[in-house]
Structure 1
Amino acid sequence: MDIWTVLLSILVIIIVYLHYEYGKVKYFEKHGIPHNKPWPLLGNIGALLLKRRSMFYYIQDLYNLNKDAQYVGFYDFANPTFIIRNPKLIKSITIKNFDHFVNHHAVVDAEMEPLFGNNLPSLHDDRWREVRNLLTPAFTSSKMKGMFKLMLNIGENFVDYLVEDSKNKPLEINSKDAFCRYTNDVIATCAFGISINSMKDKDNQFYALGRKATNFDVLALIKMLCIHNFPNLSKLFNIQIIDSKVNEFFQKIVEDTIRSRDEKRITRPDMIQLMMETRANETLSIQDMTSQAFIFFFGGFEASSSLMSFVVHEIAANPEVQKKLQKEIDEMFKKTNGDVTYEAVNGLVYLDAVINEALRCYPIIGVNDRVCTKSFELPPTLPGKKPLRLEPGDRILFPVYPIQRDPIYFDDPDKFNPDRFIEDPQGTLHSPAYMPFGLGNYIFNNYFKNRILLLIVLKFFSGPRMCIGNRFALLETKVLLVYLVAKCQLKPSKKMRMPLELSNAMTMTAKGGFWLEIQPRKK
C-alpha cells in the first residue's frame, strides 16, 4: 500500500468522524422518524460495504421498519436520507411536485468523468430538459420500427447459434453472459451503427470494454462512495470510476461514425443519426454525443441483459408459463406466415404479461432517487408527528423492489404470476406501486404515443425522470424471447441456485449467477 493511499484513508476517516461527531446522526431521532441505529462512522451502509446482505434485501428490511410510516430514515455515512414508503406520496413527488425534485443525485463530477457525468440521467435542471427533449424523438414508434428491423436479424442469428450448439446434447450456458453479448450487438448496431457478432467473435473490443465499463467491483464501489460523499477530496486525488481507455474508445467510435456518414451521406435509424441532425443548433458536442450514446450502451448492455436473464429464468423454472408462451408465439408465426413484424410482436399479450411480471419481481432499478431542488414539506410520517421540511440538497429514495413485493399492493407477491397483468391490466400496470422504470413510465408511454403531444408535455410539464430507453429495452427483450421460446426448450441448469436469491452485489442479479439449459424444440 503506497503512502498516498494511507494518507487518503486517514484523511477520509478523520472527515467522516468529524461529520459524525457534529451530531448529524441524531437527525431522525430528533424528528421521530423510524430508523436503524447507525454504526459509528459508517452510518447505515456498513452491511452494504461489507457485502453482508443484498442491497435490495437491505432496503426491504428498512422498508419494513414500520408498516404505518409514510417514510423511514437511512444514514448514508452521516447524511440523512429519506426512504419514501407510500406509493401515492412517491407519485406526488415525482409528478405533481416534480419541479421540487427535478434531479438525480450526481454520482460523478462531469469535468472529471465526462463520459458518465454528461449523460442524460446525470444532467440537471434546464440542461436535462434540453437534452431530454432532444433525445425523446429517438424512442417514438416510428424510430422503434426502424430499430426493430435491425434487432430482428441479430436476435434470430443469436438464437440459431444456440440451437446449433445444442443439437447433439443439451447446452448449458451462463445466460447473463450470453444475453450481454446479444444486447452488446443490438446496441452496437442501433446506437453506433456497427455490426458485431459477439457469439462468434467473443473477444471483440466493443464487448470487452463494455464489460469493463459495467463491471462494478468492490474497488469501483469504494470509489463511488468516496466521490459521492467527498467530492472535493476525490477531485484532488483524481479518483475516477471509468477507465480513460473506455472513454477514448467510445469517443473515437462516435467521431469515426459521424465522419464516415458525412463523407458517404449514410443515414441510419439510430441514436447517432438523431444527434447528428441537431448539430446545426450546436446543441451537442462530440463529447456530449459520446456520453448519450454510452449511457444508452450502458443501460442496454447491463440492465437489459439482467432483465432478459430474470425473464428467461422464470420461463424455464415455470413449465406452465413456458407452454402458454410457446402457444402464443407459435400462433403468431402461423398468422404471419413466419414474417415477424413490429405490430405482431407488440400484439403478444401474454409475452407482455410475462415481462411485466418479471419487472415486478425483479425491477432492475430496484431503488430510485431524487434530490430536493426547492424547499418542500413532507406530510407527517406517522399519526401525531409533525410535517418535515426538506431543503435543497436533501436526498430521498424510492424503494421500488420492496413496494413491488408488498402484499398490500400485489396478492401473493413472491409468486411469479403473469396472469395478474391480464386479469386486471389497468389496475396492475398503471398502479402507483408498479414503477420498474420509474413512476410515470407507462402513463407517458401509453397515453402520449403521439410525438407532438409527448414533446409538448415534456416541454411544459418537464416530465418525470422515468427511463427514456424503456421502450427500446422492452422491444429488444421481446425480439430475443420470440425467437428463443419458438426454437428452444428451456430448463434451469443444475448449476442454477433454486429458488433464486439476489446476490450481495450492488446490481440486481442472482446469487451464483444465471445458468440455463437449452435444447432445440421438437415441433
Structure 2
Amino acid sequence: MAVLVVLLVGVLTLVACITTFVHQHFNYWKRRGIPHEAPSIPFGNTSELMKTMQISDIFKRTYFLFRNKTDGPFVGFYMYFKKMVIVTDIDFAKTVLIREFDKFHDRGIFHNEVDDPLTANLVNIEGQKWKTLRQKLTPTFTSGKMKTMFPSVLNVGDEMIRVFERKISQSKDSLEITDLLACFTADVIGCCAFGIDCNCLSDPKAEFVQMGTAALTERRYGKTLDLFLFGAPKLAAKLRMKEYVQRVEDFYMNIIRNTVDYRVKNKVKRNDFMDMLIDMKLKYDNGDKLNGLTFNEIAAQAFLFFLAGFETSSTTMGFALYELACNQDIQDKLRTEVDGVLEKHNGKLDYDSMREMTYLEKVIDETMRKRPVVGHLIRVATQRYEHSNPKYYIEEGTGVIVPSWAIHHDPEFYPEPEMFIPERFDEEQVKQRPACTFLPFGDGPRNCIGLRFGRMQVIVGMALLIHNFRFELHPTKTVVPLEYKTDDILLSSKGGIHLKVTRRINESSVTA
C-alpha cells in the first residue's frame, strides 16, 4: 500500500510539474505584455495547420489582425511548443533580414550532416559553416555562369513545346499544366545540377521526378514527428534522426556519386553546375580544404539545387499562366513583346535577347508578388535582440517569421492587392516602395543564391509557351478562384491547374 501511495504521489507530482510547465510556456507572451492571439494547447496558434489552412496563410491572418494596431514591430505566436514572433512592421523586416543580420543569421531548420548528409545544405546549415559555404558557392551563380547553362535550358524548353503540342492533339478539351511544368523544371535541373538527361517530359513517371516529389512530400517518421524535427532540430540531430526516406537518399547519393566518378574518370566537361561542384571536390581531394568541398557537401548542394528549383519554378510558371488566362489583355500585351523580341533577333532566343523581355519579367514578378510559392521567411534569434521599446526584446532561440505573402498583399504597399497588375513593377513604382516589400527570394545576405538561375528557367519556359500557345480558362474545369493545398509548406494549387491551351494558327512558331 505504501508503495502505491508513493507511486501515486510521484505521478501526481509529475503531472503537476508538466501542467505548470505547459501553463508557463503558453503564458509567455501574456506575461510580457506582447500582443498575440490566445493559444490552444498543444497547437498554440496553429490548430488549423494541415487541416483547413496553409501555414503561410495562418501567418498572413495574424499579420493583418495586428498590423498597425500595436505599439511594437512584432506580435507573439506559438507554433505548438515553439515560441515565435511574427513581424508586422516593414522596417523591422529590414532589421531582421539586413541591418542586424548578425543576430538573425540562422533559420533553425533541422540538419544532420553525419546521418542525413543531404540535409546539410546551404539552406539549413548555420553560423560560420553557412558563411564559408556561401562564399565558396557564390561564384557558381554569376551571370556569366548562367550564360553558359542557357543552351541546356533552351534545349529542354524546345522539348517542352513539342510535348505540349502532343498533349493538345491528344486532348482538345483542357490540359492540367502543373505536372507538365514540373517535368520541364525537373529536366532542366537534372541536366544542369546532375548532368543527366532524366527525360521527365517524355516520361512523366520517370524515377527522377518521382523521387523529387517523394523528397518534398514523404517523411521518414510521418507528420507528427516531422513537427518534432521542426520544433527541436538540434535535439533531433543528437538523437540521430533523419528527414528524408531512405530510398530518396540512396537514389540521389548514387546518382551524384556515379556522375562524379564518370566525369572525373573520363574528363567530361558540360559547363554546368555539377562541373563547378566537381572542381571544388577535386580541390578538397588535393588538399585545398579552404576552397574545396567534400563529396557529402557537393551532394547536399546538388540535391538542394534540385529541390529549390524543381517545384518553386514550375509552380510559379503555373500561377503565371493561370493569371494570364484570367487576364487576356495582359497575355496579349506579353505575347506582343515576346514576338517582337524574337523577330528582332531573327527568331532566336538567347541569353541576351531574353533580357530584353522586360514586361515578361514584370509578369513573373507580379505572379510571385500575388502568389509567392515560399510564403514566409523563417529566422531564429542567435543572440538577444533589444528594441528601442524595451518591452519588445527577443530572446535567443526565439523563432522569427517574416510573413512575405502577407506583406505582398498589404494595400499600403500594393493597392488592390488581389488584382494582377504587372505595371506595379515599373521602375518608378518599385523605387517608391520601402525595402523588403518584395520577398519571393528573401533579402539580405541569406537571400536565395540561385535566384538568377530560377528566373532564367522561368523566363525561358514562359517566353516559349506564350510565343507558341494561347492559354484560356476552361468553362468547367478551371477552378476560380484558385484553391491552395493546406498540407504543403509551399504554396501550390489544390487539384492542379486546368486550362484550355491552343496552338497559335498561321503565326510564327519559332521556338529558338
Above 0.5 in TM-score?
A: yes
Which residue matches 1:164? 166
Return closer, same or farther for 1:59/1:24 CA change in 2, 3 Å cut-off.
Answer: same
In 2, distance between residues paired with 1:415 and 1:217? Answer: 37
Q: 1:215 Cα shift? A: 1.8
Which residue matches 2:428? 424
Matched AA of 1:113: D
Matched AA of 1:59: F
Which residue matches 1:439? 443
Return closer, same or farther for 1:19/1:128 CA change in 2, 3 Å cut-off.
Answer: farther
In 2, distance between residues paired with 1:48 and 1:16? Answer: 28
- State whether structure 2 residue 392 is matched by structure 1 residue 388: yes
In 2, distance between residues paired with 1:192 and 1:243? Answer: 20
Q: 1:19 Cα shift? A: 7.6
In 1, distance between residues paired with 2:30 and 2:275? Answer: 53
Matched AA of 2:91: K
Matched AA of 2:452: R
Q: 1:15 Cα shift? A: 12
Is the Cα contact below 8 Å between 1:65 and 1:72 reproduced in 2? no
Is the Cα contact below 8 Å between 1:375 and 1:389 reproduced in 2? yes
Deviations 1:23-68 (A, max 9, x none): 011111122211111112221122114x122222221111122222
Which residue matches 1:60? 60
Write out aligned runs for 1:37-436 (5 A).
37-49=38-50, 51-68=51-68, 69=70, 70-116=73-119, 118-167=120-169, 170=172, 172-216=174-218, 220-231=222-233, 234=236, 239-278=241-280, 279-280=282-283, 281-282=288-289, 283-380=292-389, 386-422=390-426, 424-427=428-431, 431-436=435-440
Is the Cα contact below 8 Å between 1:148 and 1:342 reproduced in 2? yes
- Structure 1, 274-283 or 250-259: larger mean CA deviation: 274-283
Q: 1:240 Cα shift? A: 3.3
Q: 1:73 Cα shift? A: 1.1
Which residue matches 1:454? none
Is the Cα contact below 8 Å between 1:16 and 1:41 reproduced in 2? no
Is the Cα contact below 8 Å between 1:25 and 1:79 reproduced in 2? no
Q: 1:478 Cα shift? A: 0.5
- Structure 1, 167-176 or 354-363: larger mean CA deviation: 167-176
Which residue matches 2:30? 29
Deviations 1:463-491 (A, max 9, x none): x2101111111110001011100000111
Return closer, same or farther for 1:436/1:231 CA change in 2, 3 Å cut-off.
Answer: closer
Q: 1:436 Cα shift? A: 1.2
Return closer, same or farther for 1:517/1:429 CA change in 2, 3 Å cut-off.
Answer: farther
Matched AA of 1:329: V
Deviations 1:221-241 (A, max 9, x none): 323202223457756876533
Return closer, same or farther for 1:512/1:44 CA change in 2, 3 Å cut-off.
Answer: same
Is the Cα contact below 8 Å between 2:218 and 2:244 reproduced in 1? no
In 2, distance between residues paired with 1:232 and 1:467? Answer: 24
Return closer, same or farther for 1:465/1:220 CA change in 2, 3 Å cut-off.
Answer: farther
In 1, distance between residues paired with 2:15 and 2:278? Answer: 48
Matched AA of 2:39: P
Deviations 1:80-126 (A, max 9, x none): 2000111111112211111111111123433332212x100111111
Matched AA of 1:479: V
- Structure 1, 193-202 or 15-24: larger mean CA deviation: 15-24
Q: In structure 1, the residue corresponding to 2:426 is in which secondary structure?
A: helix
In 2, distance between residues paired with 1:186 and 1:16? Answer: 55
In 1, distance between residues paired with 2:175 and 2:133? Answer: 39
Return closer, same or farther for 1:47/1:165 CA change in 2, 3 Å cut-off.
Answer: closer
Gaps of 5+ in 2: 1-13, 508-512
Which residue matches 2:446? 465
Deviations 1:154-207 (A, max 9, x none): 001111221233247635222221111011100010111111321222222211
Q: In structure 2, the residue corresponding to 1:373 is in which secondary structure?
A: coil
Matched residue count: 481
Is the Cα contact below 8 Å between 1:316 and 1:322 reproduced in 2? yes
Matched AA of 1:502: Y
Deviations 1:374-421 (A, max 9, x none): 2211343xxxxx433223212111000001100011111110100111
Which residue matches 1:503? 485
Is the Cα contact below 8 Å between 1:251 and 1:290 reproduced in 2? yes
Q: In structure 1, the residue corresponding to 2:196 is in which secondary structure?
A: coil
Return closer, same or farther for 1:351/1:267 CA change in 2, 3 Å cut-off.
Answer: same
Q: In structure 1, the residue corresponding to 2:347 is in which secondary structure?
A: coil
Which residue matches 2:7? none
Matched AA of 2:184: Y
In 2, distance between residues paired with 1:324 and 1:495? Answer: 26
Q: In structure 2, the residue corresponding to 1:377 is in which secondary structure?
A: coil
Output the aligned Cα RMSD.
Answer: 2.4
Which residue matches 1:520? 503
- Structure 1, 136-145 or 18-27: larger mean CA deviation: 18-27
Following TM superposition, the consecutive aligned residue runs of length 4 or more in structure 1 with deviations greater than 6 angstroms are: 13-16
Gaps of 5+ in 1: 1-12, 381-385, 441-463
Is the Cα contact below 8 Å between 1:357 and 1:418 reproduced in 2? yes
In 2, distance between residues paired with 1:264 and 1:479? Answer: 31
Is the Cα contact below 8 Å between 2:97 and 2:443 reproduced in 1? yes
Q: Percent identity?
A: 29
Q: In structure 1, the residue corresponding to 2:386 is in which secondary structure?
A: strand
Return closer, same or farther for 1:218/1:54 CA change in 2, 3 Å cut-off.
Answer: farther
Return closer, same or farther for 1:20/1:158 CA change in 2, 3 Å cut-off.
Answer: farther
In 1, distance between residues paired with 2:173 and 2:464? Answer: 17
Q: In structure 2, the residue corresponding to 1:166 is in which secondary structure?
A: helix
In 1, distance between residues paired with 2:118 and 2:171? Answer: 44
Q: 1:502 Cα shift? A: 2.7
Q: 1:428 Cα shift? A: 6.1
Deviations 1:348-382 (A, max 9, x none): 111010000001101121111111112211343xx
In 2, distance between residues paired with 1:434 and 1:219? Answer: 35
Q: In structure 2, the residue corresponding to 1:35 is in which secondary structure?
A: coil
Is the Cα contact below 8 Å between 2:34 and 2:392 reproduced in 1? no
Matched AA of 1:99: D
In 2, distance between residues paired with 1:140 and 1:284? Answer: 19
In 1, distance between residues paired with 2:459 and 2:212? Answer: 22
Q: Which has the larger radius of gyration?
A: 2
Q: 1:425 Cα shift? A: 4.7
Matched AA of 1:389: Y
Is the Cα contact below 8 Å between 2:218 and 2:245 reproduced in 1? no
Q: In structure 1, the residue corresponding to 2:39 is in which secondary structure?
A: coil
Q: 1:245 Cα shift? A: 1.5
In 1, distance between residues paired with 2:110 and 2:504? Answer: 46
Return closer, same or farther for 1:286/1:18 CA change in 2, 3 Å cut-off.
Answer: farther
